């Protein structure tokens, strides 16, 4: 069994007020072994933290990026060890 990873991704552009968080939750449902959150940041970016098998987490970030591509100018990502702190994927405040 593959070790779980954590991806912290920050999406910049016109990413707030366009359904980004709800799209993130919808896409996350395709990846049942993945957990984490999506939230708006005060500086106008959207933060996504996802943990699970690396293949699922990477595919999720790619699918979210594809779905929201018209609104994204930049994505900054970090790959880290998973913490196991999440039990599901949700919108955070």
Catalytic residues, by residue number, are 21, 40
Residue 64 DSSP one-character state: H
Beta strands in 41-71 (DSSP E): 46-53
Which distant-in-sequence residues (6+ apart) come within 8 Å of 10 by Cβ?
A: 41, 45, 46, 47, 48, 75, 76, 77
Structure tokens of 59? 């595919």
Q: What is the Cα–Cα distance from 85 to 34, expressed in whole angstroms?
A: 12
């Amino acid at each position: 069994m593959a070790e779980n990873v954590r991806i912290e991704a920050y999406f910049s552009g016109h990413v707030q007020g366009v359904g980004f968080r709800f799209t993130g939750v919808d896409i996350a449902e395709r990846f049942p072994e993945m957990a984490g959150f999506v939230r708006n940041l005060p500086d106008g970016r959207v933060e996504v933290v996802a943990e699970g098998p690396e293949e699922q987490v990477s595919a999720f970030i790619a699918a979210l990026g594809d779905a929201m591509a018209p609104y994204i100018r930049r994505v900054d990502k970090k790959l880290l060890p998973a913490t196991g702190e999440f039990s599901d994927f949700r919108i955070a405040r």
